[in-house]
């Protein structure tokens, strides 16, 4: 274990952008209702949902939305990343055996030495099998294909193994594995996914539809089936943004966001920039690189939305600063978390944004909690 239309042999091609399909994909998404169990997991673990969502650059009232409200799959992974970082468990409390923070770094380190995509699959499977203490992950080479299989029959889930959220979590782990593999393909290479297997029942799966392949339900296991040529591809580990990310969750989220970064609709360029700011990338060049576009393109896209990078950054930093001060964090801690050189420069910027000192704002926030 690691943390439908039909079109056979879907192709993911890694080029100047990290990867794209042979047709413009719709943004992969799931519903708020389907991930609402995360809320109870946060609360049971003593995590603040508001803090988790704020650090993932998502609305604090996200879980109050209607159950059918769409949630981007990349945002689901960002929630998981923050739960892992804040809760010290990279399994996000789905397992009875927590995974210590640092698991991603260990796996990323092992993957950097791989020479082929097939070896990536083998090392990924063996790494998580060692971590979990059982052979849940397997790589099968049969006929003209290579498959990554997750057999979770004996996995120590914290929930019922047939719970809808467990099924969803494992299907999202398949996305995790596939996006990781796609990020390691060399420029111009094709990652040919043939089908996806799930232990879940038949039904609509919007979070998998962007893969553009046959979904095989009630399969007994979870799996990704590729053609054999994919396993023979050289692994471009030096250029993988997933292997250089703070956690693999965050790296996968970034890759999913890049699927439709150039599309004029969808979540929008401003929200994409805010996601990168939330990841600690405060310079325009860093954000452009993370989004897979040039600085000039980023400026143009923001200009078409009626804003500029400095304005998006200032508005984002101000929201984060106000929320952190309202939680009672010190001015020094807030300044450091937002990338300011010191508390004085942060205080100067905060006064420009709000017309008052950060200490006064924090005191006023505390007073408003006391006075009915």
Domain ranges of the chain: 10-239, 261-307, 311-370
Please, what sign has the CA dihedral across residues 136, 139, 142, 145?
A: positive
What is d(CA 163, CA 135) in angstroms, rounded to the nearest whole number? Answer: 22
What is d(CA 76, CA 113) in angstroms, rounded to the nearest whole number? Answer: 29
**Nearest residue to 346 via CA among 311, 322, 312:** 322
Q: 103: which 2 tokens?
A: 């698991």
Q: Per-residue pLDDT tens, the chain, 372 aa: give them.
A: 555 233 334 444 443 333 333 333 456 889 999 999 999 888 888 889 998 998 888 888 899 999 999 898 989 999 988 888 887 765 655 665 666 666 778 888 899 999 999 999 999 999 989 888 889 999 999 888 999 999 999 888 878 889 999 999 999 999 999 999 988 988 778 889 999 999 999 888 888 988 888 999 999 999 999 999 999 999 998 867 788 777 778 888 888 876 654 443 345 788 878 878 887 888 998 888 777 677 887 888 888 888 999 999 999 999 989 888 888 888 998 998 888 888 899 999 999 999 999 988 888 876 555 444
What's the pTM value of the predicted model, to 2 decimals? 0.68
CATH code, residues 311-370: 1.10.10.60
Burial class (CB in 10 A: 0-12, 13-18, 19+), 280: exposed
């Amino acid at each position: 274990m690691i943390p439908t239309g039909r079109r056979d042999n879907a192709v993911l091609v890694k080029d100047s952008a990290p990867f794209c399909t042979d047709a413009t994909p719709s943004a992969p998404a799931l519903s708020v209702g389907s991930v609402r169990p995360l809320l109870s997991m946060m609360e049971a673990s003593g995590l603040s949902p508001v803090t988790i969502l704020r650090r993932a650059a998502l609305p604090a009232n996200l879980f109050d939305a209607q159950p059918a409200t769409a949630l981007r799959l990349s945002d689901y992974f960002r929630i998981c990343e923050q739960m892992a970082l804040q809760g010290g468990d990279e399994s996000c409390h789905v397992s009875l055996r927590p995974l210590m923070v640092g698991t991603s770094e260990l796996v990323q380190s092992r993957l950097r030495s791989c020479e082929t995509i097939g070896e990536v699959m083998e090392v990924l499977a063996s790494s998580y099998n060692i971590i979990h203490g059982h052979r849940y992950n397997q790589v099968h080479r049969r006929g003209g294909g290579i498959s990554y299989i997750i057999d979770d029959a004996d996995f120590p889930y914290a929930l019922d193994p047939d719970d809808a959220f467990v099924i969803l979590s494992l299907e999202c782990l398949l996305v995790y594995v596939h996006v990781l593999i796609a990020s390691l393909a060399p420029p111009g290479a094709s990652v040919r996914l043939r089908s996806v297997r799930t232990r879940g029942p038949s039904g609509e799966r919007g979070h998998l539809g962007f893969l553009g392949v046959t979904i095989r339900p009630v399969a007994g296991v979870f799996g990704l089936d590729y053609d054999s040529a994919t396993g023979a591809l050289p692994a471009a580990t030096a250029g993988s943004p997933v292997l250089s990310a703070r956690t693999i969750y965050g790296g996968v989220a970034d890759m999913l966001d890049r699927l439709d970064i150039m599309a004029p609709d969808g979540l929008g360029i401003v929200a994409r920039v805010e996601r990168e700011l939330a990841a600690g990338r405060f310079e325009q060049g860093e954000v452009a690189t993370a989004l897979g576009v040039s600085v000039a393109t980023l400026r143009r896209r923001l200009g078409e939305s009626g804003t500029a990078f400095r304005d998006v950054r200032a508005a984002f930093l101000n929201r984060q600063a106000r929320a952190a001060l309202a939680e009672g964090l010190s001015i020094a801690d807030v300044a450091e978390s937002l990338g300011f050189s010191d508390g004085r420069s942060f205080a100067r910027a905060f006064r420009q944004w709000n017309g008052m000192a950060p200490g006064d704002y924090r005191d006023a926030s505390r007073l408003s909690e006391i006075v009915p």
